[in-house]
Structure formats: structure tokens, C-alpha cells
Amino acid sequence: MNATPPATAPDPAAAVPAGAAPFRRFGILGPGLIGGSLLLALRALRPGAEIVAGAPSARTRALVEASGAADRVFDPAAEDPATAFDGCDLVFLAAPPRAVVRDLPRFRGARIGLLVDVASVKGAVMAAARGLGNFVGGHPMAGTEGVGFAAADPGLFRGAAFVYCVPEDYAAGADRLAALLALLAELGFRCFAMGAEEHDRRLAIVSHLPHAAAFALAGVAAAAGDPMLARLVGGGFRDTTRIAASAPALWTEILRGSPALPAALDAYIAALSRLRAALDPAAPPEALRAQLEAAEAYRRAIPDGLHAVPHA
């Protein structure tokens, strides 16, 4: 079990505290959309830092090398990442959740200052990280329907939330954690500390459920078998189903690995059932309007909820 940091956790907007060594050497394992955006953002933010990137795809390695964002690019199938990242101050593990869980034991005893993952489910990852001592769970609430390093954007994280989970056995020092939060703030993140169970419950509602709903809605249109539908699509359908264009293989893994998603889906199905019942001719119009008004009020109450924000 991981611990929720106390209210006195380091201020992410604070400067790196005195005595804390600044991050000078970075590692990125998995420079896809998120990892690649971190890579580009770190290069822009710390142009003099050394950055090492590991990518299993030859095409991705070629793209990263061509971008000049990394000083060295390696194939993790041919070189042990723990060796490739030897001496790094900060390493981001940006692979899918199952790969992070698989790879974490490889870093036991590695000479790495801090390990941070970016997986969108935290329970299994935090369990796999037990005993490392230098691991902090992370999840940047940003993304697009784009796939791979070709879709990476150094500005992706401006204004986005970053959830971090500090394990009970964290032993890398408060100064190093403060330095991490300060760096994340420089990258544009708003940082929030929470436990793994809290993260997975909340993210099931605000991230995993929207993806499931978008995939389902696009699936309803596809199953209709009407080619004219695609020619009639307007902003409502386009906006609501945008994330249905996300990588199916990745989202199969995320949705199946989200422990709180079944309950969130049950709540969503119940809400749809109430809406369906309110459409019955015998139901009073107020029944439907009340549901819509409650939803509209919540949507408008979200900070910057009606303005452009990083896609999650």
C-alpha cells in the first residue's frame, strides 16, 4: 500500500531547495506520445542536460535521433535499461502499465536517483515498485488521440494535472521529491498527491470512462452500417468521440487494468437508463430537464471547463 503524502508535502512551485542536487542527467524509457513529449519538453527546458532514451521500435529510435532531443538512443531489447540509465538523476518510465510492472524489478540496485512512471493505473504499478526506495508513481493528465513520438508535443503539459503517489517505503529524500515537483511545475503541471486507490477510483471516472464511452458511441455509429452518418458528423459527435481514435491496443490494456472502471461503467449505464426513462412519453418533461440541468451545472463548475485545456 502506498501512503498519501501529508499536507506539508513540498510545494511544487517552490525552487529546488538548498542542498538538493539539480537534475542533470535524464532518462526516458518509451518515448511515445507522453514519453516523447516529456523528452522534447525536457530538452527545451534543460538544453545543457544529458538525456538518454530507450525505444523498442527502430522507427521510433530513428525519429528520436533525427529530432536531436536525446544525446543517446538505445534498444531496450538489446541493452539493459538499468545499465543504459546508470548515473541518471531522473528516469521516466513511459511504457504501458503492464510493461512498467514487468520492468520495475530490473531497476533494483540501479544507480538512478529517482524513478517515475506515467501509467494511468497505479495500483499494480505501486505494488511492483515495493522495495525500490527511489520510486514515485506518476500520471500526467494530458494526451491526445495521436500515437507515438511523431505525435509528441513539448507544450502538451501546460496547465495539465500531474498526480503523484509516494510509496510508504520511499527513501530517496524529501529534497529530491521537492526537486521533482519543482521540475514538473516548470514543465507546466499542476501537481496533486494521492494514494493509488484514490487515483484509480478517480481516474476511472474522469479518464477511463470517457474513453470507454467514446469507443462505445463510435461503435454504435459503425454498427448502424449507414455510410451517410460519417458525412453528417458535426462538432458534437466529433468532440465526443475524438478519443475513440486513440490506440486500441493501449486502451484495451488500460481499460482491462482499471480496477474501478466496472463500477464507473455501472454508474454511467444507470445514468443512461434514467435518461432513457425520462424520454418516455408518460414521463414529465421536468424529469429530463432536471438531469440535464444537474449535468450542465457540474460541467460549468469545472475550472476552465469551457475553455481549451490539454487533452486527457
Percent pLDDT > 90 in the chain is 84
- Note whether 12 and 114 are same-domain residues: yes
| Model pLDDT for residues 132-185, shown as the tens digit of each residue | 999 999 999 987 777 889 899 999 999 999 999 999 999 999 999 999 999 999
- Residue 16 confidence (pLDDT) above 70: no
Same domain, yes or no: 248 and 189: no
**Residue where a domain terminates, one of 133, 166, 195:** 195
Between 253 and 303, the higher pLDDT residue = 253
pTM of the model: 0.85
Q: Which residue has the cell 475513440?
A: 244
The answer to the question of residue 309 being in a domain is: no
Q: Is the same domain home to 190 and 217?
A: no
- At 12, the pLDDT band (50, 70, 90 cuts) reads very low
Asked if residue 117 is part of any domain, the answer here is: yes
Q: Quick one: average pLDDT of 192-200? A: 96
Tell me which residue of 128, 275, 263 sits closest to 203, measured CA to CA.
263
Residue 310 inside a domain? The answer is no
If asked whether residues 60 and 105 sit together in one domain, one would say yes
Residue 210 has pLDDT above 80, yes or no: yes
pLDDT of residue 147: 81
Res 308: pLDDT:
53
Residue 13: what pLDDT?
Answer: 35
Is residue 11 predicted with pLDDT exceeding 60? Answer: no
pLDDT for the residue numbered 311: 52
User: What type of residue sits at position 183?
Assistant: L
Q: Is residue 52 part of a domain?
A: yes
- pLDDT category at 22 given cuts 50, 70, 90 is confident
Total of domains in the chain: 2
10 CB-near residues (< 8 Å, 6+ apart)? 17, 174, 177, 178, 181, 182
In terms of domains, do 69 and 162 share one? Answer: yes
Residue 220: CATH number of its domain: 1.10.3660.10
Is-contact 42 88, C-beta < 8 A? no
Q: Residue written as cell 487533452? A: 311
Residues 158 and 255 in one domain: no
| Predicted confidence (pLDDT) at residue 284 exceeds the cutoff of 60 | yes
* Residue whose entry in the numeric block shows the C-alpha cell 444537474: 294
171 and 226 belong to one structural domain: no
224 with 146, same domain? Answer: no
Which whole-number Å values give the CA distances from 63 to 40, 150, 177, 209, 249, in the listed order? 12, 7, 31, 32, 22
Residue whose grid cell is 432536471: 290
Residues 245 and 183 in one domain: no
Mean pLDDT computed over every residue of the chain: 90
Confidence (pLDDT) at 306: 56
**Structural domain range at position 191:** 2-195
Instruction: Give the side-chain half-sphere CA count within 13 A for 307.
Output: 6
Q: Residue 201 has what pLDDT?
A: 96
Task: Give pLDDT, residue 34.
Answer: 93
Per-residue pLDDT, 303: 80
Instruction: Tell me what pLDDT residue 312 has.
Output: 53
Q: Which three cell numbers stand for residue 91?
A: 528516469
Check whether residue 184 and residue 222 sit in a common domain: no
**Whether residue 172 sits in one domain with residue 222:** no
121, 254: one domain? no
